[in-house]
Amino acid sequence: MTYIDSVVAPDLSDCRSVTAHYTLRMVFHSAELPKGDNGRLVLLFLQVVDKAFREYGAGRAVLDAYASSANESRLYHEGVGRFETCINSVVRALRLADRIARAVATPDVNRHTRTRLILALDALRPLRDATEHMDEHINSGKLAEGEAHALMVAQDGATLEIAKYRLTFTELAGVLRQLHGLATEIIDGLAAGPPASGTANG
């Protein structure tokens, strides 16, 4: 008998790759990233957002396979590991988004969007930090009796948990959609570069 019967995680397959979207904008609309470090910052943000989505999709698929397996525990552990990587990537993307919002000569991030992303970072960071520093919590006796000492999926199949922290897949998916929306806005707001040399003028 498997530990979970199903995975209650939203399907995000409708969110297309943001780096692929940028490539199309660059090829067909001559969109250009900001020059120098700011441009590299935006490109890194797009790449990290895509990584977070890949890990979410892979983790969801593996846990779904586990739930219908003959209790193949390796699938459970792989799925949880994918979600741990996903959360790390989401926190990194949120930090990058805040840096982009504060930087000059980068695409604008409206105040409402920035506020929502800061709140998401505040909500996710404790869970992410708990996974990174669990050995310290164990050694210092901070882990209460019965609390998970590693990231795991609760038996409801809908919640990730570690120590005293909880995060539903629905909440995680919501943050991913916010990041995808911001990435798409940034890409669509990129200015067009100069016309290619040799372009006919009428």
pLDDT band at residue 9 under the 50/70/90 scheme:
very high
Average pLDDT over residues 78-106: 91
What is the identity of the amino acid at 168?
T
pLDDT band at residue 87 under the 50/70/90 scheme:
very high
Give phi and psi for 154, each to the nearest 5: -65, 160
C-alpha–C-alpha distance, residues 52 and 87, integer Å: 7
**Over the stretch 152-198, which tens digit does the pLDDT of each residue have?**
999 999 999 988 889 999 999 999 999 999 999 999 888 765 544 44
pTM (predicted TM-score): 0.87
**Over the stretch 121-143, which tens digit does the pLDDT of each residue have?**
999 998 998 888 655 544 455 65
> Domain limits of the chain?
18-132+143-188
Contacts of 173 (CB under 8 A, 6+ apart): 9, 10, 12, 56
Burial of 197 (0-12, 13-18, 19+ CB in 10 A): exposed
**Over the stretch 45-67, which tens digit does the pLDDT of each residue have?**
999 999 999 999 999 999 999 99
pLDDT band at residue 148 under the 50/70/90 scheme:
low
